[in-house]
Amino acid sequence: MNQQHRYNARQLLLHLHPSDRIVVVLLFLAVLLAAVRLPVVGESLLSHLQLHAALLAGFVGLVAGWTRWERGRWVPILRPAVTVAVIFICYTSLGKLGVAAWPGGAEPPYRADAILSRWDSRLFGCDPTLWIQQFQTPGWVEFFSFIYAAFIPYIYISMILGCLGRPPLERDQFLTGWVLTYALSYLGYMLVPAHGPIIGRAADYTVTLQGGFFYEIVQRGIQAIGGLQGVFPSLHAGGSVYLCLFDLQTNRLRGLTYLPMVLLIYASTLMLRYHYVVDLIAGTMIAAGCIPLGRWVFLRWVRQREAGGLPALPGGESDVVPDLSSDGPAGAAPLLSAD
């Protein structure tokens, strides 16, 4: 083998993009959870184990490819596209894994649902998901179903377009923080299994949700992915807040455009009984924290690459890399907008 490609562990890390590392760790944890719980829970976990092991193997293979040929022109396009796709698959698969992995969570009422509902009641003095019933008219339900249904394609299209249209440095910081947001939230899916108030508090509702076309679409969509599994923290909140806050720093008009959407998404998940308020709060906090954290993680890696004699950014792209000496996750400076 060529001397150039005999990496030791440290050199390998210099070539491994932080977003790749986060996804690999996340998938590894999913496989580990499934493997550890398999003897206790039984065969129902086998399919989860297989799926996540296959995802891990496939992703590692692709990472090996774009790490080996990191200067390829296709890397800056393929990495975000594959990463977004894997994260999207995990969105449906990890919630199910979480619920399946814990025996107490197999039958309602779920332990985590009860805890989340209790937190809501403590925070607000009453259960907001019950209080909101007074507004659950068919018209509102239909409107918020439209918002909810539109969110998933919109956020992933925004992600892809965002990755393709951003300057290299900003794009990679964006991707790292975004992956971090989802990875941390997925830990919640795996470790705090819950189904949301629509199932957790089903017996307490006096109003039946009724809507039209979009409500039906949402219902069918949820049925198609095997029902609501994984609600804490809310990634509808986390994903949209991340996009909004990140773009408020780098592209104000885009950030301000996301702002009302964030609020509508909050309202829609509550209106359709898919989330507790603490889910939204947790999702928002994770997203807000992952912006400086993602930036710090990414820029630290860039500095390490530079110190190791590699170009600052993979993909052979040139960019302005800010001084990292004074910032960190706690007090990160505003993002540089570089072209």
Where along the sequence are the contacts to another protein (CB under 8 A)? Answer: 157, 161, 164-165, 167, 250-254, 256-257, 259-260, 337, 339
Nearer to another protein, 32 or 164 (CB): 164
Q: How far is the CB of 252 from another protein (least distance, A)?
A: 6
Nearer to another protein, 94 or 243 (CB): 243
Nearer to another protein, 107 or 339 (CB): 339
Looking from the CA of 259 toward its CB, the CA atoms found within 13 Å total 10
| Closest C-alpha among 77, 19, 17, 83 to residue 55 | 83
Q: How far is the CB of 161 from another protein (least distance, A)?
A: 6
Nearer to another protein, 123 or 259 (CB): 259
Q: How far is the CB of 165 from another protein (least distance, A)?
A: 5
Quote the tokens at residue 98. Answer: 């979480």
Give the three-state DSSP class for 330.
coil
| Closest C-alpha among 152, 133, 155, 129 to residue 218 | 152
CA angle 245, 248, 252 (to 5 degrees): 155
Q: Where are the alpha helices (DSSP H) in the chain?
A: 9-15, 18-41, 46-68, 75-101, 111-124, 128-131, 138-165, 168-191, 197-200, 213-224, 235-250, 252-271, 277-307
Q: How far is the CB of 197 from another protein (least distance, A)?
A: 22
Q: How far is the CB of 150 from another protein (least distance, A)?
A: 10
Nearer to another protein, 165 or 316 (CB): 165
Nearer to another protein, 44 or 337 (CB): 337
| Closest C-alpha among 226, 221, 179, 187 to residue 98 | 187
Q: How far is the CB of 247 from another protein (least distance, A)?
A: 9
Sign of CA dihedral 216, 222, 226, 230: negative
